[in-house]
Structure 1
Amino acid sequence: MSRSLVLVLLLLILIVTSQFEWKEQTVNEFEATPSVSNKQHLYSYRQEAVKEKILISQERDIQRLIELVRGLREQLQQCRGSNDTRKGVVKQLTENGNGHDKQKILED
């Protein structure tokens, strides 16, 4: 009888301790879950911040390129204007028949 009583007591102790360990594990898992979600939230927030910085940088680069294109267009217009002027002068000289002045202008 004492042997069966000892076995029952051991079984009861085993059950109680295992219950306690299970509760402790579930509490730890429950506490760990918000930590993981906080880390994920922080990670996604950092990703968004990096993406935003990249977009701002790209917008600045685009604005610089727009300004460069605008400057190049102005230079092109000036070149076209000076070419038109030269062509007009050369045409006038050829109509007047003065070949020496024509060569001088072309060399400039």
Structure 2
Amino acid sequence: MVSRPIVLVFLLVVLIITSQFEWKQQLVNELESTARSQKHISNREELIKDKIILSQEKMIQKLNDFIQNLQQQLLQCRGNNKTVHSSGASLTSYISDIRRQHMMDD
């Protein structure tokens, strides 16, 4: 038969080899879990970035609408200003005509 120390050494070697397989399996499981977590985190980051981009696009659209509104108001003010100036010019010429006529009458 086989001597006792040889059997013990053999069992020890088997134990070491099987424990290494278990450690490797644990490491593989942990790495897979970490990879899944990182993928989940990166997916969430992408969703958050998309939401931020959509929010910024909405704000840009609102600002563009606001700018268009202000430009329309500016054009209206310029039109009103031209009307006032042209009315003022015709009033000035009317007053000048009256003064001329008054001077001629004197």
Same topology, TM > 0.5: yes
Q: Deviations over 1:48-106 (max 9, x none)?
A: 100000011001101100110011011101100110001001111111226xxxxxxxx
Residue by residue over 1:10-39, the C-alpha shift from the partner in whole angstroms, topping out at 9 and shown as x without a partner, is 322321111111010111122222212111
Residue identity in the other structure for 1:97: I
Q: Which amino acid aligns with 2:66?
A: L
Corresponding pairs, count: 94
Query: What is the percent sequence identity of the aligned residues?
Result: 31
Flag structure 1 segments of 5+ consecutive residues without an equivalent.
99-108
Amino acid at match of 2:28: F
Distance 1:46 1:66 in 2: 30
Residue correspondence of structure 1 range 1-108 to structure 2 within 5 A: 5-97=3-95
TM-score, length-scaled by structure 2: 0.80
TM-score where L is the length of structure 1: 0.79
Decide which moves more: 73-82 or 24-33: 24-33
Structure 2 residue identity aligned to 1:90: G
Mapped partners of 2:59, 2:30: distance in 1: 44
Aligned Cα root-mean-square deviation (Å): 1.5
Q: Which has the higher contact order (CA 8 A, sep 6+)?
A: 1
> How far apart are residue 6 of structure 1 and its match?
4.5
Runs of 4+ displaced beyond 6 Å:
none
